[in-house]
Amino acid sequence: MSASEGVQPTVSAPTFRVEPIDTLCVNTIRTLSMDAVQAANSGHPGTPMALAPVGYTLWQYFLQYNPADPTWPNRDRFVLSVGHASMLIYSLLHLAGVKEVGADGKPTSAPAISLDEIKRFRQLNSKTAGHPESHLVKAIETTTGPLGQGVANSVGMAIAGAWCNAHFAKPGFENLFDFHTYALCGDGDLMEGVAAEAASIAGHLKLDNLTWIYDNNRITIEGKTDLAFSEDVATRFLGYNWNVLRVADANDMPMLARAFTTAKATKGRPTLIIVDSKIAWGAPNKQDTHGAHGEPLGDAEIKGTKAFYGWPEDAKFLVPEGVAEHFQAVMGARGQAAQDAWNATYADYASKYPELAAQWSQMAHHTLPAGWDKDIPTFPADAKGIASRDSSGKVLNAIAKNVPWLIGGSADLAPSTKTRLTFDGAGDFQPSNHAGRNFHFGIREHAMASILNGMALSNLRPYGSGFLIFSDYAKAAIRLGALMGLPVIHVFTHDSIGVGEDGPTHQPIEQLISLRAVPGMLTIRPGDANEVAEAWKVILQQTHHPVTLILSRQALPTLDRSVYAPAAGTAKGAYVLADAVPGATPEVILIATGSELGMTVEAFESLKAEGINARVVSMPCWELFNAQDAAYRESVLPSSVTARVAVELGSPLGWHQYVGLHGAIIGMTTFGASAPIKDLLKHFGFSAAKIAEAAKSLIGK
Amino acid sequence: MSASEGVQPTVSAPTFRVEPIDTLCVNTIRTLSMDAVQAANSGHPGTPMALAPVGYTLWQYFLQYNPADPTWPNRDRFVLSVGHASMLIYSLLHLAGVKEVGADGKPTSAPAISLDEIKRFRQLNSKTAGHPESHLVKAIETTTGPLGQGVANSVGMAIAGAWCNAHFAKPGFENLFDFHTYALCGDGDLMEGVAAEAASIAGHLKLDNLTWIYDNNRITIEGKTDLAFSEDVATRFLGYNWNVLRVADANDMPMLARAFTTAKATKGRPTLIIVDSKIAWGAPNKQDTHGAHGEPLGDAEIKGTKAFYGWPEDAKFLVPEGVAEHFQAVMGARGQAAQDAWNATYADYASKYPELAAQWSQMAHHTLPAGWDKDIPTFPADAKGIASRDSSGKVLNAIAKNVPWLIGGSADLAPSTKTRLTFDGAGDFQPSNHAGRNFHFGIREHAMASILNGMALSNLRPYGSGFLIFSDYAKAAIRLGALMGLPVIHVFTHDSIGVGEDGPTHQPIEQLISLRAVPGMLTIRPGDANEVAEAWKVILQQTHHPVTLILSRQALPTLDRSVYAPAAGTAKGAYVLADAVPGATPEVILIATGSELGMTVEAFESLKAEGINARVVSMPCWELFNAQDAAYRESVLPSSVTARVAVELGSPLGWHQYVGLHGAIIGMTTFGASAPIKDLLKHFGFSAAKIAEAAKSLIGK
């Protein structure tokens, strides 16, 4: 048998015979999907129709999942990476009777997805969005749609499982977190680079708690996949050190059952199950066509399909008697029993290891341990200073030793980003040590960010790091973290032309504004070591917002806080660092962030020496400042003072909101260049003298 | 032999014996690299030292390249995807005596890289930037550094070769453009998703004019590659339908020669040559360590290395006698002969096919054929209107039939982005038809954008398309096109919450400002069909700037241009569409782009009906408007009028530059939602009534 065929599952499933009720359940998923898309007059019917037997077999007979408690920590995870097939997961959630989770994190008696919600598919304020959104429905493990993200998230969940299992392991409790993560994906996922990166690292890490199910339907939006995709997927994944199985017919539930059994039993490798399917299976005219991908089938086609299924042709949103009951009797009973058993084991564990149990409780409730911040250093004034990447490394280490589940790493740049945890016992996360806390994501920025989302979705507090320029590679995943409200930490160093000799390919210009423009995210660019420490305090206390922390490669002076205002102002996003004439309205306001704060303070001092009543404002975070009340904002930037200079080694776009049409912005309007930093700063006009000059010009002095 | 080993080259090279002069040349490359990095006290010495024999063997004995005319159209392309190893290419360019190209596109007598430039490595205004920059040195094929981009560019160059070869083919002239493209890459390239996408499509397209040489040095910045990268690269590439060869020792020049010969002779597949190397080969203490990756070796280590090479230990920047002469005698003579032969063939071709020769001349000089714009339609006023993606599709087709080298496609969204060329003979670019003009890039946005850069670097005028939200996936490549000054066209449709039911995962918010913030790029968001036509006129006339064209999914009214100002104002970025009281200073200015123009005009009409002297400004392109002179900008936005309302379905960031601190911005400050567009517009407060209300509030009415 050639590699290109994949291998048939080698392990027999427990006796598996397809009963009429199974077919009824499968066809209920199919018809609900068709009907919902038709009612919305928008959506993707073909894939749910094709994959209904796959989703059904997996959920009903394999998933360790308790519908009555969808956030049970050791539940198996199911990720619908083909997010456009959202009606598949909505149908499954509905039929399986999965409950909604309340604001307190506990399951309620309300359904996660009611039949009414399915009828309101893709309508305003419904829970049944066009693509599954985890922030709308807690029982949805992750928000998917942008292709490749779901599978990459699933690697993060599998990592979280492996890490928790290893971290909490004690004699007799070796498998507290042995959940399996399944992701259902399509050719689009497998064409995306982020998925390739994620697959490679998952194989490297030997994540055998991970299975991807590949819907090989040979259809894309433009037509047949062979217009653009003729690679041998099985061979590629064998190259990644995955096990590869093939099921030749998505309707062959016994063979699917064998495949899932084999996948679960596979050790030392993740598993890819290639399932050949027919999009819109059963549709008389649209089966196997791209016309069934992204638009409603139409009433006539639906009738024909229902006839083929032996379904009442005119029935809409029909859930036949027995379907929900069957889910309850099989999946529900299995899930409840599994959770009951786990609860008993966990209670035993908690009594023997109360300290570890307390840790888990904090992780599960997204709280921080007492004293998490007790070792955060204060940095003494120092004109020579320290690079903010270095001070950040010290602060991160000081926090991480008190927060065991604060874990992360870098896309091969840890020696440069200073994110390595260096204290005893931190260790490396590797196949041989799943309890390690330092991650080597490889040169895979996009997968890193997406994996971090998956880790955050499974109770970890993850961080990643890289050069700011490479935030571009990861942007799509960073954004999804913001949409989901995940407190992922992205550390980006080498924040500007301060990079120096590496040149314009490595010098960010527009990246700051690009990140600041993402809704629901904080971008913090601290100006000295003590602002770095304050920034980390802000970061750790986030529960619903990702943060990008923007740091310098070069040394920044540590300000003397007995002369200038305390760095605690960082938490408000911007604060008055100093006034030349305290109490009086300033003539001119200088505003700076990050590495430009030092030269701006210098400019302030020279203006002060000239008798000019200047103010210097440090503004490490726009989003936090904009969230302050109007009185505070007015106190920092009095509207009567229109002479304002903003200084930042980045695109000037966005700064007009603080300096208006009459202020000045000293920013970067072109790409940078390759040269030592001192030459670049001079060349591009960044110096205390230039800042002072701009300020004086504004006030006619 | 297992797949994981790759296969040894199967074709013998012409007699190849390593002479002392070859070793001398190789060691000159090595020592120049070491010395330059040391002098700059910054850079990456280890990889040029390791790969000197690879670069030397390829350039000296295989590359069809004339140092006296580095832009000869049928030259082989060499891409240094490991851009950090820039001293390798600077050394090769210098030793081979490659000439600089003048502003007129013709070779000069000056060296592309002089020894002085090598001594000024990584200094301000030198040509020897930290990473190779094609806009600084014409003989550098593409700007590299961000990993994965160079190899993806190389696929674009190979596509350009294949397309030109097929397009210009005539009996007896079947191989006018049979150049080969070589890319030298490292583990970082191969870990990046963009390279995986590019490799998959290259294998699909059977680009046998493409060879990647993989420097398998087993070292990354964090340490050994096996920290994060243990996949079987050979098996992966066999899965992509590549030929895979292995050379076990980078110093084995005869085996390298065999590999290059085999690669060139391989039909129907691109070739990957895996070359095992030792980073910093010969360095007594740093060989095979990551300490040799990104920092100078240090004086003592350099001396030890030079001793190992048998080099004068104290000589710096030494180019021994005979080295340049040897390059001239072998590579130079071969290249000149090849070009002479090609020139003769081409002269014959041009005499027989003057029309095609004229086409080539226009392509080579980046000019447009006469009458290229003659079929661009004018759209009649139409209240119901047409989606801008649809009008764009019509305009693109009208232009493309007159500009044969305007070619492109989509990342599997052509039916949605309307970029397909539908006229007779356009065809699909597929392995069976390399003259086709419609490209199916697959669901690989990042590789698409990077491939477009490579196509533009080889005389094509390429466009790609996708949904605006997926510009995030491609951003890193889009940026590099701007840095290189390539007139690539990126068509992005589905530009806002106007996407509707697909929901927030598919609705751009921050993408517009992210693209606008890229230096050197135009972002155009036309407001009706006639602005679309004008936008395409602007686009085609760009020679040094990429453009992103932002289009709607939904229908937009086509304005009556007998009532409102002509759409030709689009070329100025912003223009006064109408004044309620022509000639008088307006009380309030409404500014809109794209799909919001229609509702803003409606608001203008209602204000006018109420007797308010409003102005409506259409602003499809910030960059073009900001480039107008102050008088024009003042004529559109008189500084005396501070009551200004900006309307755009995107992040409000950046708009303060036009509305100041006293204006209003109707924008999106949160993510969108899944619902029909009409419900979304209402929910998020976008309507003529809301705009009018904001305007009146500003002027206290």
Asked whether the beta carbons of A604 and A592 are under 8 A apart, the reply is no
| A9, pLDDT greater than 90 | no
- Give the strands of the sheet with B243-247, arranged side by side: B77-80, B181-186, B210-216, B271-276, B243-247
B-chain residues near A501 (CB < 8 A): 40, 42-43, 122, 130
Q: Is the minimum CB–CB distance between A475 and chain B shorter than 8 Å?
A: yes
Distance of residue A348 Cα from the nearest chain B Cα, in angstroms: 37
Q: Say if residue B416 carries a ligand binding annotation.
A: yes
Q: What is the pLDDT of residue B1?
A: 31
Q: How many CB atoms lie within 10 A of CB A197?
A: 32
A569-698: CATH topology is: Rossmann fold (3.40.50)
B350-380 b/e (C-beta count within 10 Å ≥ 16 → b) = eeeeeebbebbebbeeeebeeebbeebeebe
**B202-222 per-position pLDDT tens digit:** 999 999 999 999 999 998 888
**B508-530 per-position pLDDT tens digit:** 999 999 999 999 999 999 999 99
Segment 2-41 of chain B within 8 Å of chain A by CB? 40
Q: What is the pLDDT of residue B2?
A: 39
Distance of residue A177 Cα from the nearest chain B Cα, in angstroms: 24
Q: What is the pLDDT of residue A1?
A: 31
Nearest to A474 by CA among A415, A527, A532, A518: A518
A501–B483 C-beta distance less than 8 A: no
Q: Could you say which of A301, A445, A587, A648 is catalytic? A: A445
Burial class (CB in 10 A: 0-12, 13-18, 19+), A41: exposed
Coil vs helix vs strand at A71: coil
Mean pLDDT (whole number) for A435-464: 98
A-chain residues near B192 (CB < 8 A): 193, 197, 443-444, 473
Segment 503-532 of chain B within 8 Å of chain A by CB? 503-506, 509-510, 513-514, 516-520
User: Would you list which residues of A are annotated within the binding site for substrate?
Assistant: 44, 293, 389, 416, 494, 502, 506, 553
Q: Is the minimum CB–CB distance between B345 and chain A shorter than 8 Å?
A: no
Q: Which of B505, B518, B660 is the closest to A510 by Cβ? A: B518
Nearest to B239 by CA among B263, B203, B272: B203
pLDDT band, very low/low/confident/very high, at A10 (cuts 50, 70, 90): low
Distance (Å, rounded) from C-alpha A532 to C-alpha A550? 10
A440–B519 C-beta distance less than 8 A: no
Angle of helix B149-167 versus helix B445-456 axis, rounded to 10: 60
Distance of residue A602 Cα from the nearest chain B Cα, in angstroms: 25
Q: For residue B397, give the H/E element and its range.
A: helix B388-400
Mean pLDDT (whole number) for A209-236: 93
Q: For residue A383, give the H/E element and its range.
A: strand A382-387
Q: Is the minimum CB–CB distance between A685 and chain B shorter than 8 Å?
A: no
User: Would you list which residues of A are annotated within the binding site for thiamine diphosphate?
Assistant: 84, 145-147, 188, 217, 293, 470
Same CATH topology for A3-340 and A382-557: the answer is yes
Listed range (A6-10, A250-254, B429-433) with the worst mean pLDDT: A6-10
Q: Which of B234, B480, B675 is the closest to A124 by Cβ? A: B675
Nearest to A532 by CA among A485, A496, A571: A571
A233–B236 C-beta distance less than 8 A: no
Burial class (CB in 10 A: 0-12, 13-18, 19+), B164: buried
**A323-354 per-position pLDDT tens digit:** 999 999 999 999 999 999 999 999 999 999 99
A-chain residues near B412 (CB < 8 A): 188, 191, 220-222, 228
Percentage of chain A beyond pLDDT 70 is 98
- Encode A21-35 in three state secondary structure: HHHHHHHHHHHHHHH
How far is it between the farthest Cα atoms of chain B? 90
Distance (Å, rounded) from C-alpha B20 to C-alpha B16? 13
Q: Is the minimum CB–CB distance between A459 and chain B shorter than 8 Å?
A: no
Asked whether the beta carbons of A517 and B510 are under 8 A apart, the reply is yes
- Residue B645: what residue type? V
Distance of residue A700 Cα from the nearest chain B Cα, in angstroms: 20
Q: What is the pLDDT of residue A507?
A: 98
B428–A229 C-beta distance less than 8 A: no
Ranges under pLDDT 50 in chain B: 1-4
B143–A43 C-beta distance less than 8 A: no
Backbone angles phi, psi at B71, to 5 degrees: -110, 15
Which of B4, B117, B155, B192 best probes binding to A when mutated, by most A CB atoms within 10 angstroms?
A: B192
Q: Does pTM surpass 0.95?
A: yes
Q: What is the pLDDT of residue B15?
A: 67
CATH 1.10.8.60 fits A3-340, yes or no: no
E strand intervals along A113-209: 181-186
Q: Is the minimum CB–CB distance between A120 and chain B shorter than 8 Å?
A: no
A674–B502 C-beta distance less than 8 A: no
A514–B517 C-beta distance less than 8 A: yes
B656–A657 C-beta distance less than 8 A: yes
Which of B438, B443, B644 best probes binding to A when mutated, by most A CB atoms within 10 angstroms?
A: B443
B382-557: CATH topology is: Rossmann fold (3.40.50)
A669–B131 C-beta distance less than 8 A: no
- The complex's ipTM works out to 0.97
B-chain residues near A232 (CB < 8 A): 238-241
- Give the strands of the sheet with A522-524, arranged side by side: A438-440, A406-410, A461-467, A489-493, A547-550, A522-524
Distance of residue B237 Cα from the nearest chain A Cα, in angstroms: 7
Segment 477-496 of chain B within 8 Å of chain A by CB? 479-480, 482-483
Which of A242, A290, A430, A502 best probes binding to B when mutated, by most B CB atoms within 10 angstroms?
A: A502
Distances (CA, A) of A500 to A410, A495, A506, A552, B143: 21, 11, 9, 11, 17
Backbone angles phi, psi at A145, to 5 degrees: 150, -65
**A655-688 per-position pLDDT tens digit:** 999 999 999 999 999 999 999 999 999 999 999 9
Active-site residue, B141 included: no
End-to-end CA, chain A: 84
Q: What is the pLDDT of residue B282?
A: 96
Distance of residue A683 Cα from the nearest chain B Cα, in angstroms: 9
Asked whether the beta carbons of A180 and A210 are under 8 A apart, the reply is yes
Domain segments of chain B as ranges? 3-340, 382-557, 569-698
Q: What is the pLDDT of residue B223?
A: 86
Burial class (CB in 10 A: 0-12, 13-18, 19+), A517: buried
A-chain residues near B475 (CB < 8 A): 472-473, 475, 514
Nearest to B84 by CA among B188, B157, B158, B181: B188
| Average of per-residue pLDDT values in chain A | 96
Distance of residue B193 Cα from the nearest chain A Cα, in angstroms: 4
B230–A203 C-beta distance less than 8 A: yes
Nearest to B417 by CA among B474, B499, B488: B499
Q: What is the pLDDT of residue B222?
A: 85
Distance of residue A340 Cα from the nearest chain B Cα, in angstroms: 36
Q: Which of A192, A236, A514 is the closest to B443 by Cβ? A: A192
User: Mind giving me the DSSP string for B462-516?
Assistant: EEEEEEGGGHHHHHHHHHHHHHHT---EEEEES-SGGGGGG-GGG--SSHHHHHH
Q: Could you say which of B117, B141, B192, B445 is catalytic? A: B445
**A153-175 per-position pLDDT tens digit:** 999 999 999 999 999 999 999 99
Q: What is the pLDDT of residue B3?
A: 43
Segment 216-275 of chain A within 8 Å of chain B by CB? 220-222, 227-241
